[in-house]
Each structure stands twice: as structure tokens, then as C-alpha cells.
Structure 1
Amino acid sequence: MTMKERLVMTFVLLVVVYTIVPWVATRIFAIGVYRKGKHAGNRIALTFDDGPDPAYTPMLLDLLKKHDAKATFFVLGSKAEKHPELIARMHREGHQIGIHNYRHQSNWFMSPWSVLRKQADRTAGIVASITGERPTYYRPPWGILNMLDLFLLKSYTVVLWSVMPKDWRSRIGSEKLKARMMERIKDGSVVLLHDSGETFGADRDAPAHMIAALDEVLAGMRQRGLAPVRVDELLENVPGRRLGFAKRTLVAVWMVWEKCFVALFRLKPVDSGNPLFKLRVREYQGKRAIELADGESIRKGDLVAELHLDNYTLFRLGLDSRSTVQLATQLIRRTRMLMPELCRLLLTDPQYRDVKGLYGITMIHRGSKQLGFTVVDLPEGLFASLTRTYLRILLYIIHPQGKERLKEKSELLEPKIVAISKNELKTRYIA
């Protein structure tokens, strides 16, 4: 390969890493960004990009007031400078103001420092000078981030969308736009709309059709019990919302791995309505037999139902836990509720007919003896070392204060084998 070819390949690789990788991470896997609300309680968020516009933004604000609806405006700093009275009105009427860059330019074609200082921070300063409140929510033009945006924009909450009716084209018309919104908007939706038609690719009169459609959509949403709120209100109950940007990104990446792990090893939930535990049948490979409290033993080659904690559920529980002990207490309570279902599954499902019992490895084993489990140390060796490292990494990622928890008493964080025989399950949990 010639030097020129190497340079071309290096350039192409850098372009891909700078542009395509963050696009896939954010737009497909929602890593480091928010696209919708969870546990929204019949709330949705209407968001409007590219304004303020002196012709259409006042009409839109009048419409929102008519329906007693709140919204979020991702504004351009250059337009906010020209129309401070519209920014002031948005703020006065209780709407949220976010940032959509100073000018409508793609982050792919700017250095990350330009995005931060000349686009986001500059616009935040302009809005703060008008309202007295500095915006902390950011949406990049066309939803496009570059690789370093994921790290440099850590002081902002990046919001994309879950519903895009494509309202920037006037040929769609208000009726078709209305039908799209009524069909796609549901609990937790973040809806992308535009109160200006001046940006590249948009039709100048498109917002008029959007406003006409939105009038009927807002009336229809009220009948369905959906309440339009600000983005910050929609996201207030999202798990992980109060975590730092880097930690949220790390959690999101791990959850993608979690989905891959579940699919790869074909884990099955114990209860589809309560995803705390998943199972798979496998042969026990330990060299040392596990002697259980009821006299049974699990030996190499025996079939076991391997128990796995659902890490997203664990993460959500960790958000509300002040300590690892409290997290363990919540897990014990939930596990106790699931034990009868676990027992019925092992006794009645043909795929578990030949298993000796339940088996798992966990660092959160405090109180498991109360439920009938035998708790034994992992045999020292490479497997124990790798397991210890893996589970500590897992705790760091999924626990909101994972770094602090790793500094607690080490005996509380030592992975152990927990196991219970099928006979013990039957004795304890079948009336």
C-alpha cells in the first residue's frame, strides 16, 4: 500500500469515527441522548426547532395558550438576537427554551470546540441575557452530533425525538400531517416540529400547515388524556436522568451489551411482567460439588437453571438506593415475591424437568439464605478472578454511585455462588 493510499484510508477512517459512529450511537441506540420519556404518565413533549420566527411563532404561542399546552422551543441564537421579544414571551408563558445552535449548521462540518463555544454556549448566553435563565437542553441541527460532542457537551442534556411527522414540506398538507401525528403520538413521545420554514430543505409556508394540523391534534390529545408538557418535565422520571453525561452514556452502552447477551445465551424471563430474573438451562461445570443445606448436591455435569439478574431493573432499583445494603434489601423483597413463580416454572415446564435446582453467581447475596439458598465461596482461580472483576465493573456501571460503592467493605462485594435444590423450592414455596 502506498503512502497516499494509507493517508486516504486514515482520512476515511477518521471521517467515519467523527461522523457515522456517533450517528449510529445516538440515532439507533440512543447512547448519551434522550429520544422519549419513560413512565411518562400520559404526558408527551411537543418540540419546535429553527425559530423564533416573527410570522409563525406568535401564532403558535397563541395556539398553545388556547389549548393550555406547554412546549419546548429549540431556538437558533442568531434568530433569538433578532427577536428577543419572542424569546421573552416563550419564557413568560411557561415554555422551555433549548438550544439549536447559533446558526443552523451541521455539527459534522464544525470542530467540536466551535460547536460548544460558538454555537451552544453562545446561544445559551443570548437566551440567558433575555430571560435570566440559561438553557441546559440541546438539540443539534438535523439531530447530528460529531464524536467529541458526546464528551464536550456534558453540561447539556441532548434531546432528539421519537416522532417526526416531516412537517417541513408544505405539500404534505395539514390533513395528512394531522393523521400522522394522531397515529404516532403516544405516552412519552417527543415530537419534532418546526415553527420556521427558512432553513435548508424546508418550505417557507410549511409552518402554517403544521399550526392548522396541531390545532386539531391538541384537541384530540386532550380527548385521549394526553398532556403536552415541557421536555424537562417529561424526562424528570426517566431512570438515570440525574446522572452525569458520561455515566449515562456508559449505562446506555452496557444496556446494548445486555440485550446482546440475553439474545446470545437465549435467556428467558421468569415472569414477563416482572423482568427481575432470567433463566437458562446449562450443565454445571464447577470442579467442586455444591453441597446444599437440604442434603442435595450439585456436581459437575448436573443440569441447573442458571439465574441472571436483569441489569436494567437492577439499575432502576439502584437509583433509589442509598447503599448497597438497601439495594440488597429491595432485591430480597422482590425475589421473595418471585420465588413461587420460579418454583412452579421449574416443576411444570418441560425444559426444566431434569434440572437439579437454581444456580447463580452474584455480589448481592446478602439475605439470600433467608429464601432457602445455600451461599458458598467461589473456588479460587482464574474463573473467580475474572468473575470478581466483571461483577465489579458491572456494579460500577449500573449502580448510580458505583464508584463509591466499590470503596465500601470488601466482604459485601465478594461474589458468591447461590444455589437451591428443586426439592427445597417445592418444600418452601408450594403450598
Structure 2
Amino acid sequence: MNHVLVFVIAGLFVYTIIPTFVIRVLGIGVYKKGTAGRGIALTFDDGPDPEYTPRLLELLKENNLKATFFVLGSKAEHYPELIKRMHNEGHLVGVHNYVHWANAFMTPKKVRLQLEHSVNVIEKIIGERPVYYRPPWGIINIFDFLLLKRFRMILWSIMVGDWRSNGGKRKIKERLQAKLRDGAVIVLHDSGQTFGADKDAPIYMLEALREFIAEALSKNYAFLRVDEKMRLEEKNKRAQFSLFKRTLIFLWFKWDRLFHWLFSVKPLDENKPLFFYRAATFRGMTVSLSDGEKLVSGDRVIELHFNNEALFHLATGARSPVHLAVQMIRSVKENLPKVTEKILSTPEYSDIKAIYGITMIHRGASQLGFTLMTLPNGLFSIITRMYLKILLYIMHADGKNRLKSNPDALIPLVLAISANEMKSKYPVSQLSVEMERTIVPAGYLVETHATQ
């Protein structure tokens, strides 16, 4: 009996658990989130619903927004007029299986038959074969990777539990606001008829969505269909980076992750990882900080490291240098108080004397309370400068010319601020206002790891 149980568990791992882990966690073979930029995608599952889908379509029409619907083939058969309306009003219609069953509980043949039936139903209604597919609950079996020859599998980066009624509009809206990131793919549900859902849940989803749309538009977010979003991002990548450069970027990101693992460098905020950090012991000459504190060798400090991958996505997703500067300002403003929060919430950081790092993004830093210092001459300074120039060449779309255009400006500096001044200027409950006066030149998007 034990052998049978082991065999069954091993079979489940191979058939569905490992494949689902591969797409859900590693994102291999699927589209979950685009490159940074203000383009986000609204997607809706489990419909069409005769009560809620028309109301949703009206809301989207009022705001002139386009969305993506992953519909059930069985419901499409019952409500073809809603599928036709989605298509006629410019929305993308994708497939969400014929009925809402997880692929883990179906044979490969059954999954293919469900999809084929659904595709035929939708094609008959709108005259186009859908090629975008979202498996129910984001669960697949190992044979579903064969579907990638015919379909683009789409998952999500934001899910807010809108299929349940508890918490109402407030819960959904707060989660949407808290999780919203550039490039996000948001999944919502315009039907409450699937297993585990509350029938009236779409009422609260629609109420929250109305307010969320207004706020997102006021922040210059653009709502795109999934296919439009993917094409735009691919076009931008091709325009900016050659295959050779994309390979270098890929390898550099892998190196960054290895570095973080080797030196215990952690994200300051798991949801908005603009900064990484680690606690360390300061080794160097005595430094007088702007508030009169002195940083001496042996003091405990927090090293701040820019997330090069996040900076890269900000740069490639920006419409212009000014747009990029605005995004940088917003991101830094959101993150500086989190340094204070980390210090105050971590007992072993009670003896932290200062926060520091080495970077080329230093215009306006002195107005923020940071003391700026040049690197002492020596081997470390030479290596750091070389490192930064290589990084700029790799990450900047026009890195080669950027290095030639103004080489004197590409000087890394040490930035430091005392822990006391950080707590004073950037309390947890208040975002900084000084950064609003600071414009960070787009050409300076390059950073080095702090002193080892």
C-alpha cells in the first residue's frame, strides 16, 4: 500500500505539480507580467455572465478601455451575443476551457477536446480563432506544454480574491491599489458561478473596478489588451537591444542574483524591489555626515543597492527621459521610508550607524540629506569605475555612445546618511517631499554594488 501511495504522489508531481510550479513560479512558457512601463492589462475570467458581463462592458466603454476576456466555451454557446459584443467593442477574446475544470484532473486528450470545442464555438461567433489561453486556476499538466505550439498561455501578476464577497468593494480596491505595478496583468472575474465563488461577488468587483480605473488613469496608467501589450513590448525590445546585448543583459541579471545570494543581499520590499540591502561593518576612513555624526571603521551600516533589473525595466518602459525621471522620483519616494521601517522593525539593527552605497545616480542626493564622497584612489576605485562603465554599456540602450558623450559625468560616488537623519527625514508614515525637487537624468541609470 505504501508503494502504491508513493507511486501516486510521484505521478502527481510529474503530471501536474512540477509543471504548474514551472509556469506559476518560474514563468517559463507563459506571459505573467510585461516589462515596466505604464501599460497594464485588465483580464477577466469565467464569463460571459448575462447579469454582470454587460455591466462590465458598459464600464469599459465609458472609460474607452480595452480588456481581455478568457471565456468558458460552454457559456459562449449560451450567450453568443455577449461574445460578439466583446469582439465588436474591441476587446480580445481568449479561452478558459470549455467548463471550469482544472487540467490536473483531466487527461491530455480531454484538455485538447475542451480547447478545440471552445475555439470552434468562439470562432463561429466572431470569425477569428482565439490563440490566447488561460488554464483555470493557473493549473496545468505536463502535456499542456505541447499546447504552446498553438496557444499563448497567459497568467497574471495581480490577483485580489474578487471571487469572494467578504470584505466587499473595499477589500478588492485596497488590494488592487497595493499590488499595482508597472507592466501588471490583472485577473478579475465577471461571473460568480464557478466552484468556490460567491454568486454576488462580481457586484463588488465592478464597484471597486470603477474607482480603481479612475485612480489608475489619473496616475497615467494605460490599459491595453494582452496582445497589444505583448506586441508593444516586443517591438520596444527589438528596437533597443540586439540579440548580443539581450544575452549580456540576461547573464548580468543572473550574476546579480548570484551576488545577492552569495552576500545575503535582500530586497527592501518584496513587492517593489527598487532597493536591495544588507547589514555590514563599515571599513574605511572616518566620514563626517551632514548632521554631525561621524562614521568610523567598525560601525555597523546598512548597504543600499539599486536593483539593476528594476532600473532596466524602468528605462525600457519609459516614453521619454522626463517620464523616466518621474518614475524614478516616484519609486525612490516610496522606498526611502521603508529603510526607516526596516531599521525600526528589526531588533538586530538597533546599532546601525548609517546607510550608504556607491552609485552614479547621485544628482540631488545632497538635498535629501546624503553626504557625497569620492572613492579613495586605489584598486577598489579602479575596479568600481570599470564595473559601472561595463554595466552602463550593457543596460543602456545607447550605452556605447553614452560612455563617449560625457565621460566626466560618469563618476561613482559614495552616498551616506546617518540612521538618525534617515529616521527624521523619512519617517515610516511620511513620504519625502525633497525628492519632488530632484530630477534624475536618465543617462545615469547605472549602479554598483557597495563595498564588500
**TM-score band (shorter)?**
0.5 to 0.7
Alpha-carbon distance in structure 2 between the residues aligned to 1:304 and 1:87? 60
Equivalence for 2:173: 178
Equivalence for 2:215: 220
Unaligned runs of 5+ in 1: 244-250, 276-302, 318-329, 350-431
In the TM superposition, 1:254-403 aligns within 5 A as 260-263=257-260, 272=308
**Structure 2 residue 17 is the aligned partner of structure 1 residue 16:** no
Alpha-carbon distance in structure 1 between the residues aligned to 2:307 and 2:154? 33
Larger radius of gyration, structure 1 or 2? 1
Alpha-carbon distance in structure 1 between the residues aligned to 2:218 and 2:109? 46
Alpha-carbon distance in structure 2 between the residues aligned to 1:254 and 1:113? 39
Equivalence for 1:90: 86
**Structure 2 residue 241 is the aligned partner of structure 1 residue 232:** no
Match of 1:72 among 64, 68, 85: 68
Alpha-carbon distance in structure 1 between the residues aligned to 2:140 and 2:306? 39
Q: Residues 20 and 165 from structure 1, CA distance in 2 versus in 1: closer, same or farther, beyond 3 angstroms?
A: same
Q: Are the aligned partners of 1:271 and 1:341 in contact in 2 as well (CA < 8 Å)?
A: no
Q: Are the aligned partners of 2:164 and 2:201 in contact in 1 as well (CA < 8 Å)?
A: yes
**Structure 2 residue 139 is the aligned partner of structure 1 residue 139:** no
Match of 2:27 among 23, 30, 40: 30
Equivalence for 2:117: 122
Equivalence for 1:103: 99
Q: Are the aligned partners of 1:162 and 1:189 in contact in 2 as well (CA < 8 Å)?
A: yes
Paired-residue identity, %: 42
Alpha-carbon distance in structure 1 between the residues aligned to 2:258 and 2:167? 42
Code of the residue aligned with 1:220 in structure 2: it is E
Q: Are the aligned partners of 1:112 and 1:152 in contact in 2 as well (CA < 8 Å)?
A: no
Alpha-carbon distance in structure 2 between the residues aligned to 1:341 and 1:11? 63
- C-alpha deviation, 1:104, in angstroms: 0.2
Alpha-carbon distance in structure 2 between the residues aligned to 1:121 and 1:315? 43
Code of the residue aligned with 1:94 in structure 2: it is G
Code of the residue aligned with 1:221 in structure 2: it is A
Alpha-carbon distance in structure 2 between the residues aligned to 1:28 and 1:61? 32
Unaligned runs of 5+ in 2: 239-246, 266-275, 277-304, 314-381, 415-452
Alpha-carbon distance in structure 2 between the residues aligned to 1:50 and 1:174? 19
Q: Deviations over 1:5-64 (max 9, x none)?
A: 445433322211222212222222212111112143x22111110000111111111111
Aligned residues: 301
Q: Deviations over 1:48-104 (max 9, x none)?
A: 100001111111111111111111100000000111100000000000111100110
- Normalising by structure 1, we get a TM-score of 0.59
Q: Are the aligned partners of 2:19 and 2:142 in contact in 1 as well (CA < 8 Å)?
A: yes
Alpha-carbon distance in structure 2 between the residues aligned to 1:315 and 1:185? 25
Code of the residue aligned with 2:50 in structure 1: it is P
